[in-house]
Structure 1
Amino acid sequence: MVDGRGPSPALVHLLVRRLPDTSLTMALASGGREHFGWGVDRHMAADLYDALNQQTRATGQWGKKGAPKFPEYPRPKAKKKPRKGEKKRRPSVAEIYKQLTARR
């Protein structure tokens, strides 16, 4: 850094890989700002919530018509869905930077 060239790409890659999964950078890489704060622990808790609700419904003592509907735990949704046969591609660093610097 002293010579004005900046950090090496390997160092930047290492620093980004060490970011927590709830960081804004990881959220933008995952699909958008709506993923901010959603780490593995939050996804697991939402899955557990839904599983418990389904278990409660399955073991209830009511008829088919009287079974309550339990809402799913709200999760972040992707803005665009990939088309059939199209693979989901990871955003480039330039795209993530553009989203980080965008005003809301």
Structure 2
Amino acid sequence: MLVQRLPDTSLTVALASGGREFFGWGQDRHMVADLFDAVNQNTRSTGQWGKGKAPKIPEFPRPKKAKAKKKASKRSVSVAEIYRRFSGR
């Protein structure tokens, strides 16, 4: 089923993106988070920190992406084994 014209902040789009934690995360919120991180990175790289190192500025909190499931290792299967699987009803 294809659902069209849903707002990007809807729960349906969030569930399709990876889970409930993406609810409310439209393009505008992603852009604001990227802008926040860019300003912080610019501040770290151009600041006058004296003798010390630049402080670590935390990134904007984002929802965690779902981890990809590990694929089962592909094992070679003989023709005889395939035949046995299909004929063993």
TM-score (norm 2): 0.71
- For residues 81 and 62 of structure 1, do their structure 2 counterparts lie closer, same or farther at Cα, with a shift above 3 Å needed? same
Instruction: Return the offset for 1:66.
Output: 3.3
Instruction: Return the offset for 1:35.
Output: 0.1
Alignment-derived partner of residue 30 in structure 2: 43
Task: Read off the aligned partner of 2:67 and give its amino acid letter.
Answer: K
Give the count of matched residue pairs.
72
| 1:81 partnered with 2:77 | no
The alignment yields a C-alpha RMSD, in angstroms, of 2.2
Structure 2 residues without counterparts, runs of 5 or longer: 72-89
3-state secondary structure, aligned to 2:35: helix
Instruction: Return the offset for 1:51.
Output: 0.2
Instruction: Return the offset for 1:63.
Output: 4.3
3-state secondary structure, aligned to 1:17: coil
TM-score (norm 1): 0.61
Alignment-derived partner of residue 82 in structure 2: none
After the TM superposition, which residues 1-104 of structure 1 pair with which residues of structure 2 at under 5 Å, given as runs?
Answer: 13=2, 16-63=3-50, 65-78=52-65, 80-83=66-69
The percentage of counterpart residues that share the same residue type is 72
Structure 1 residues without counterparts, runs of 5 or longer: 1-8, 86-104
